[in-house]
Structure 1
Amino acid sequence: MAAAKNIIDENRASCEVVSADVLELILFRLPVKSLLRLKSVSESWNHTISNRDFAIAHLRRSKNSLFPSRKKFLFWDFSNLLELKNNELKPFWDHKINGYIVWQCCDGLLLLSNYDSSGNMFVALWNQSAKTYTNLGFPFPSPEYIFTCGINFDSLSKDYKILVTDLETYAVFSNKSGRWSELKEVKITIGEDIKSFPLDGHICWISQVEEEHSYTIEILLFDFKHDKFCKFFYDIGRLIFDCRLVHSPPGQFCMILADNFDKARVVWKKAGGEWMEFNDVPVPVMECHSEMHLTEDKELIFTCDCYGPPYIFTIYNLIEKESREISRPDGTFGPCHLFIYVDNLFFSGSTSI
């Protein structure tokens, strides 16, 4: 025991010799699970790993192409967690989110809600990389109905923020402060041009304006940076059969405008990027479940034959205009939520982040 303790002490002493800059370069390359274990090596290591700026820089590196092996597409169908690997869906690791409503995924953080044993609703976050679960409580005094929940990283304040609203009142949770804001009345500002809007917020809904000879889509967003709701009207130019919002990565917007039963127009925009439209995309709207997703590689993923076997995923690349199909494993059912595995130190159990 004494010999082992001496070795540990010597290793810790040698760790202190490494300069802070070199240490950060080394730690940046490590996954979250390893970083959480290394916090106990020394006070300086713990301070570095628990620093908010380090967490932001590590997240940025985790999301870029330097970590291709950690870029995993995961699907959650209320009972199973599946990974898309080599064009096949296979079971992923154990999870503890059975029975939860899945609202959104942002940078590997899964936003959930559920009811406790007393029937009270609460909002929670599940960090995939750290496998940690954080109960955020609930800001409404009598939680009977939520219209939407959303999560976004506010780059201005360097803070993850979570919106909960019933469209009459709303509250925002701040990761920095660790608490919910006071309930505020929803007041909607009419925006001028959706194409020039930065889209750095949670999109609440889209709908076709129900007026005779109307060719307009109504889009409601919440602007996390300025703490306000914005409504936009987009002239689609012609009468359409249906419109649906596509679940997209943070800072992106995508909607499907169905011209008929098996063809649609896809509208896509990335924050600070060009507004793009893709015509004649083969999306069979009548056969698709409303859960449709857009990946960062501009691949549209949707489910066909969702009311009976065989349960098939179709993945359509908007740029290459090619599609492929993937069968779901036995034992999976219902609509699936797509999210991307990202190493993220936020909400990982650290008291400082």
Structure 2
Amino acid sequence: MKTSKADRISHHLPEEIIEEILYRLPVKSLLRFKCVSQSWRSLISTKQFVETHLQHSKKIESLTDKRIISTCKNSSKSSPGRLKACSLSSLLTEPVTRAVSFDFFPLNSSRDIVIVGSCNGLISVLVDVCRFFLLNPSTREFKELPDFFTGTTCPKNLGSISGYGFGFDESSCDYKVYAVFTMTTPYDRDVGFPSKSVARVYSLKADSWGVNVFFEDRWTIGQGKFVSGKLHWINYYKTKLKWEIVCFDLTNESFGTVERPSCMEGCYIPRLGVFKGCLCMSFDCALTVGSDILIWNKYGAEDSWSELLSISYLSVFGNSSFTRMFNRVTPLFVLPSGEILFTSGSDFLIYNKKDGCVKQRHTVDFDCDRFREAEAYTESLVSLVPDNIAFF
């Protein structure tokens, strides 16, 4: 009986050594190696292997399995919204990196596509206002979620999905999508207040949306940032001219608040982000004509906010680009050199903390007019089949 090359290798190397080698390979290679032999296919498909491989990928400094995902759209009303991605290593090494569209499922939308969130290599997106998808770009799996409005009395044409988020509930080993539908009347739209909000949570294990969660009187607008099992938003009270950080716990599906930094005088309303697994906050300062980024080093600990970096817009854009100064500044990734990759509008820039120097890096060709947002994620083998979800 003829043996495969993989089987011959297995005879010479202990199984644990083979596993250690495979853990260090990129997802693209592992998908190919599943065809080498039945034993390798079985190994690479196990929950234990998927979990260990992802944890190893998060820790190492290699950029091989790190990618940037973005949404964009051309200015034409008939132009579809698109979801594109490029490798982080290409972004840093090539003069111009071309982003490629996801072609493994029918995602093109007549309206904008919104990134709901990313977690462990999985991406959740909102298409055509009310259709939610989960996908793993690395394995080319995708899944359209059940209709959000099933079991509700909300008319789709009288509102929109106003808040959303995606994350992993470790207690139940389940991926969850949170969404809020805000229903408005013509009068409410004029004055800017919602008349009714319905918030629901989708469970991948159950493959269904739960009942309306207790919403209290809080607004969760836009994407919730997932950190430590919770989604986070900035909640701004127009009537009181103040803001707070609200969070939604995916385990017990309840709301709460988290500590806000004390040094926020003279600043505009901040924006939340996730950096190195920690909650971070960026805000424009009128006094310095720049942006400061704070990071919450230890979740739940008092006085744990510290400054990550402070960027002068004049040093980045110059005096002639004042209209570009108040674009969003979002940190994406720490490079092996210690420099920080961040975005401002559609620009990708690198900040060196040692000398305080900001330099623009190579351009990404998104082949579109309107760049909306970008996120960094790590490629993984995580499956969308509930029985194959690994625990993290």
The amino acid across from 2:343 in the alignment is: F
Aligned-pair CA distance for 1:344: 0.7
CA distance in 2, matches of 1:98, 1:318: 39
* Alignment partner, residue 128 of structure 1: 137
Structure 2 residue matching 1:166: 3-state secondary structure = strand
Tell me if the contact between 1:222 and 1:229 (Cα under 8 Å) persists in the aligned partners.
Answer: yes
Q: Return closer, same or farther for 1:59/1:147 CA change in 2, 3 Å cut-off.
A: same
CA distance in 2, matches of 1:289, 1:158: 40
Instruction: Tell me whether 1:245 sits opposite 2:271 in the alignment.
Output: yes
Tell me if the contact between 1:164 and 1:171 (Cα under 8 Å) persists in the aligned partners.
Answer: yes
* Alignment partner, residue 177 of structure 2: 162
CA distance in 1, matches of 2:249, 2:23: 31
Structure 2 residue matching 1:247: 3-state secondary structure = strand
Q: Return closer, same or farther for 1:76/1:95 CA change in 2, 3 Å cut-off.
A: same
Aligned-pair CA distance for 1:316: 3.6
Q: Return closer, same or farther for 1:46/1:228 CA change in 2, 3 Å cut-off.
A: farther
Q: Return closer, same or farther for 1:254/1:113 CA change in 2, 3 Å cut-off.
A: same
The amino acid across from 1:27 in the alignment is: L
Aligned-pair CA distance for 1:324: 1.2
Aligned-pair CA distance for 1:154: 3.3
Q: Deviations over 1:107-166 (max 9, x none)?
A: 332221114xxxx83211232322332222333325552122222233444443322233
Aligned-pair CA distance for 1:347: 3.1
* Alignment partner, residue 254 of structure 2: 228
Tell me if the contact between 1:130 and 1:348 (Cα under 8 Å) persists in the aligned partners.
Answer: no
Tell me if the contact between 1:200 and 1:224 (Cα under 8 Å) persists in the aligned partners.
Answer: yes
The amino acid across from 1:226 in the alignment is: N
Aligned-pair CA distance for 1:255: 2.0
CA distance in 2, matches of 1:294, 1:145: 29
* Alignment partner, residue 369 of structure 2: 333
Tell me if the contact between 2:330 and 2:344 (Cα under 8 Å) persists in the aligned partners.
Answer: no
* Alignment partner, residue 193 of structure 2: none
Structure 2 residue matching 1:207: 3-state secondary structure = strand
* Alignment partner, residue 146 of structure 1: 161
Q: Which consecutive unaligned segments of at least 5 residues does structure 1 have?
A: 1-5, 191-197, 305-310
* Alignment partner, residue 281 of structure 1: 311
Q: Deviations over 1:203-242 (max 9, x none)?
A: 133436653xx6x531121122332221346364564352
CA distance in 2, matches of 1:241, 1:200: 29
Structure 1 residue matching 2:269: 3-state secondary structure = strand
* Alignment partner, residue 322 of structure 1: 357
Tell me if the contact between 2:98 and 2:364 (Cα under 8 Å) persists in the aligned partners.
Answer: no
1:38-77 alignment, distance < 5 Å: 38-39=33-34, 44-65=39-60, 67-77=62-72
Q: Return closer, same or farther for 1:238/1:172 CA change in 2, 3 Å cut-off.
A: closer
Q: Return closer, same or farther for 1:50/1:134 CA change in 2, 3 Å cut-off.
A: same
1:180-329 alignment, distance < 5 Å: 180-188=208-216, 199-207=228-236, 210-211=239-240, 216-232=242-258, 234=260, 236=262, 239-249=265-275, 251-260=277-286, 262-272=289-299, 274-277=304-307, 281-283=311-313, 287=324, 291-297=328-334, 299=340, 301-303=342-344, 312-317=347-352, 321-326=356-361, 327=363, 329=365
Tell me if the contact between 1:288 and 1:302 (Cα under 8 Å) persists in the aligned partners.
Answer: no
Tell me if the contact between 1:74 and 1:81 (Cα under 8 Å) persists in the aligned partners.
Answer: yes
- Percentage of identical aligned residues: 19
CA distance in 2, matches of 1:68, 1:279: 22
Tell me if the contact between 1:89 and 1:328 (Cα under 8 Å) persists in the aligned partners.
Answer: yes
Tell me if the contact between 1:61 and 1:67 (Cα under 8 Å) persists in the aligned partners.
Answer: no
How many residues are paired up? 326
CA distance in 2, matches of 1:290, 1:15: 54
TM (norm. structure 1) is 0.74
Q: Return closer, same or farther for 1:242/1:184 CA change in 2, 3 Å cut-off.
A: same
Aligned-pair CA distance for 1:337: 2.4
The equivalent position to 1:101 in structure 2, one of 109, 114, 117, is 114
Aligned-pair CA distance for 1:90: 0.8
Q: Return closer, same or farther for 1:187/1:315 CA change in 2, 3 Å cut-off.
A: same
Structure 2 residue matching 1:137: 3-state secondary structure = coil
CA distance in 2, matches of 1:85, 1:77: 21
The amino acid across from 1:184 in the alignment is: N
Tell me if the contact between 1:27 and 1:35 (Cα under 8 Å) persists in the aligned partners.
Answer: yes
The amino acid across from 1:293 in the alignment is: T
TM (norm. structure 2) is 0.67
Aligned-pair CA distance for 1:201: 1.9
Structure 2 residue matching 1:345: 3-state secondary structure = coil
Q: Return closer, same or farther for 1:282/1:178 CA change in 2, 3 Å cut-off.
A: farther
Aligned-pair CA distance for 1:294: 1.7
Q: Return closer, same or farther for 1:207/1:278 CA change in 2, 3 Å cut-off.
A: farther
Aligned-pair CA distance for 1:279: 7.3
Structure 1 residue matching 2:30: 3-state secondary structure = helix
* Alignment partner, residue 3 of structure 1: none
The amino acid across from 1:340 in the alignment is: A
